[in-house]
Amino acid sequence: MSDVPDPEVVELASKVFDLARAGDADALAAYVDAGVPANLTNDRGDSLLMLAAYHGHAPAVTALAARGADPGRANDRGQTPLAGAVFKGEEAVVRALLDAGADPAAGTPSAVDTARMFGKDDLLELFGAH
């Protein structure tokens, strides 16, 4: 058994990560439905859901979460998709993540801390409702 990854697997993973960044919800759903792990992560621990959230794609976030992607999964630096969406000012993504069960207090910094840092009082109120 080799420690060298199969180039075809690496190519497929790269394509799926690009789909997450681009927000192609239908293609992501099809790949996950066909067996790509919903919580697939890259070399920095960013999940498909993290990439979709950070790039502002609420429909992709919803599609991934509906297929078992963990909305609270932090990357290797302790950042959650919710904190990333707050940082980027993506309110639709914030709502999609909250609907999927994301915890505003999770991560370093948390979504709550990030909202405080950037004076996003509307999001702090939204977090209070969850």
Tokens describing residue 55: 């790039």
The pLDDT tens digits of the residues spanning 63-77 come to 999 999 999 999 999
Q: CB under 8 Å to 78, separation ≥6 — which residues? A: 107, 108
Residue type, 59: P
Q: What's the CATH code, domain 7-129?
A: 1.25.40.20
As to burial, measured by CB atoms within 10 angstroms (0-12 exposed, 13-18 middle, 19+ buried), residue 73 is buried
Structure tokens at 59: 């429909």
What is the reported pLDDT for 10?
A: 85
Supply the mean pLDDT for the chain. Answer: 94
| pLDDT of amino acid 2 | 62
Q: What is the pLDDT of residues 102-128, one digit of tens each?
A: 999 999 999 999 999 999 999 999 998
Q: Indicate the pLDDT class of residue 45, thresholds 50, 70 and 90.
A: very high
Question: What ranges do the domains of the chain cover?
Answer: 7-129
